Amino acid sequence: MSELDALIELLAKLPGLGPRSARRAALYLLKRRERLMEPLAAALGEAAAAIRTCSLCGNLDTGEPCAICRDPEREASAICVVEDVADLWALERTRAFRGRYHVLGGTLSALDGVGPEDLTIARLLSRLERGQELILALGATVEGQTTAHYIAERVAGMGVTVSRLAQGVPIGGELDYLDDGTLTAALKARRAL
Amino acid sequence: MQWVDRGFVLAARPHGESAAVLELFTSEHGRHLGLVYGGQSPKRRASLQPGNAVEAKWRGRLPEHLGSFTLELLFAHAARLLDEPLRLLALSAAMALLSAGLPECEPAPDLFAATQGLLAALDEGDRWAPHYMVWEHRLLAALGFGLPRGVESDVRAGLRLTGRILLREVLAPQGRGLPAARKRLAILLERAGAEVPAASAAWAR
């Protein structure tokens, strides 16, 4: 296999790219060898060498522990549990949470045989201290909420306050366009004005 | 060819970057699979939660092909149970057992009716545990392992019995164990002690 074919084959494995778009991307890179291709190759090499999974929270960062776990400005009294690093990044974009995180690495799944031992639940339990708040920011899915209930049950009696994200009408959402499940959840979680 | 049928979502697994392979338990076509285009989109995923009742139109060139589904959500059972740990476990366990136990494309009308009854009982929230136990008996009956009617009136003992038979006769031969949700449901119901009602009334449904 030529170098070009190898490049196209690897690019085609990226999300959103098939063989055809990978060929276009390879051609685009080759036409911008110095401006894009070489810096990109260098950045990929450096990222692969430097980025590690934080041993405390499971975030991806160059430092160990990660910048969020090291940051003294962050509230140690609240830990937000997320399924994946992408969820952590989504919450960080909001700048609405100044506590720490814990990445579970998935959710419990009866169908796919994912059990508590396959997630970082044991590490989460070892991090918890009396008086902390545990925010379960897991998906509003059967698997996400089954995981949330499981964690809530495991931490019962540890002196930890457990909360979870609200479910309901999204900002800018119109009731007419919402699915029945979201509307049901919104009605159940209604609050006094 | 194509058909339209009502069914319950058993599972939806990602396929490629945007589609999902959906597994339904339908009224007239039994457990049936099909592709849902855009099945990983946030809007679609809400209706593809296990336990949701849907009306499905299946299209395929031949009956043995995977084919594709177009769906309309009829009732979001899953959304109603997200706040209820035990009932959510019962829903997950029932859908996982149907997925693991039922053969493909073989109608099971009695079991479908029993599943409708179970989901109604889970929605109502009252005396759902006996209905769940009786539903497992009906699942075993549909798979050819019928037990005498009313063999157990105690839900915990009944679940121990059905759990053993499901494992020995249905799941172990496929190299599977009891679904994690089913195991956990049995543990939590054992812990609930005397709060679990007897199953005598549930047998009548």
| Assigned token pair, B1 | 């060819």
Question: What distance in Å separates the CA atoms of residue B72 and residue B153, rounded to the nearest whole number?
Answer: 38
A113 touches chain B (CB under 8 A): yes
B82 touches chain A (CB under 8 A): yes
Q: Is there a contact between A179 and B91 if contact means CB atoms under 8 Å apart?
A: no
A-contacting residues in B 33-72 (Cβ below 8 Å): 43, 45-47, 49-52
User: In residues, how long is chain A?
Assistant: 193
Q: Give the A:B interface size as CB pairs under 8 Å.
A: 79
Q: Is there a contact between B76 and A179 if contact means CB atoms under 8 Å apart?
A: yes
pLDDT of residue A51: 96
Q: Pick from A16, A109, A181: which is nearest to B76 by CB?
A: A181
Q: Is there a contact between A185 and B182 if contact means CB atoms under 8 Å apart?
A: no
Residue with tokens 């070489």: A38
Distance between alpha carbon A170 and the CA centroid of its chain, in Å? Answer: 20
A-contacting residues in B 91-130 (Cβ below 8 Å): 91-93, 95-96, 99
Residue with tokens 């009396």: A130
Please tell me which residue of chain A has the smallest CA distance to B180. A110
The CATH-assigned architecture of domain A60-164 is 3-Layer(aba) Sandwich (3.40)
CA Rg value for chain A? 21
Distance (Å) from the alpha carbon of B199 to chain A's nearest alpha carbon: 25
* Domains of chain B, start order: 2-77 (2.40.50.140), 81-204 (no CATH)
User: In residues, how long is chain B?
Assistant: 205
Q: What is the pLDDT of residues B11-59, one digit of tens each?
A: 999 998 899 999 999 999 999 999 999 999 887 888 899 999 999 999 9
Average pLDDT of the residues in B181-187: 92
Q: Pick from A109, A145, A179: which is nearest to B88 by CB?
A: A145
- The answer to whether residues A159 and A102 touch, using CB atoms and an 8 Å cutoff, is no
A141 touches chain B (CB under 8 A): yes
pLDDT of residue A1: 80
**Mean pLDDT of all residues belonging to chain B:** 90
Question: What distance in Å separates the CA atoms of residue A137 and residue A24, rounded to the nearest whole number?
Answer: 39
Residue with tokens 């494309």: B105
Residue B201 has pLDDT above 70, yes or no: no
Q: Pick from B17, B50, B182: which is nearest to A142 by CB?
A: B50
3-state helix, strand, coil in chain A (%, to 5): 45, 10, 40
Distance (Å) from the alpha carbon of A92 to chain B's nearest alpha carbon: 20
- The answer to whether residues B135 and B128 touch, using CB atoms and an 8 Å cutoff, is no
- What dotted CATH number matches A3-50? 1.10.8.420
Query: What pTM did the predictor assign?
Result: 0.86
pLDDT of residue A171: 86
pLDDT of residue A29: 97
Question: What distance in Å separates the CA atoms of residue A47 and residue B147, rounded to the nearest whole number?
Answer: 60
Domain residue ranges of chain A, discontinuous segments joined by +: 3-50, 60-164
Question: What distance in Å separates the CA atoms of residue B73 and residue B113, rounded to the nearest whole number?
Answer: 18
Secondary structure of residue B181 in the 3-state scheme? helix
Residue ranges of alpha helices (H) inside chain A are 3-11, 19-31, 38-50, 67-70, 85-94, 121-127, 142-155, 180-188
Please tell me which residue of chain B has the smallest CA distance to A185. B79
pLDDT of residue B197: 67
Same fold, A3-50 and A60-164: no
Distance (Å) from the alpha carbon of A100 to chain B's nearest alpha carbon: 25
pLDDT of residue B142: 94
Q: Is there a contact between A110 and B83 if contact means CB atoms under 8 Å apart?
A: no
Question: What distance in Å separates the CA atoms of residue B181 and residue A109, rounded to the nearest whole number?
Answer: 8
Provide, as residue numbers in chain B, all residues whose Cβ is less than 8 Å from the Cβ of A184.
76, 79-80
A52, amino acid identity = R
* B37 DSSP assignment: T
pLDDT of residue B192: 78
pLDDT of residue B17: 84
Residue B205 has pLDDT above 60, yes or no: no
Question: What distance in Å separates the CA atoms of residue B169 and residue B67, rounded to the nearest whole number?
Answer: 31
Kind and range of the H or E run holding B205: none
Where chain A has pLDDT below 70, the residues are none
Secondary structure of residue A92 in the 3-state scheme? helix
Residue B194 has pLDDT above 70, yes or no: no
Contacts of A31 (CB under 8 A, 6+ apart): none
CA Rg value for chain B? 17
Q: Is there a contact between A181 and B52 if contact means CB atoms under 8 Å apart?
A: yes
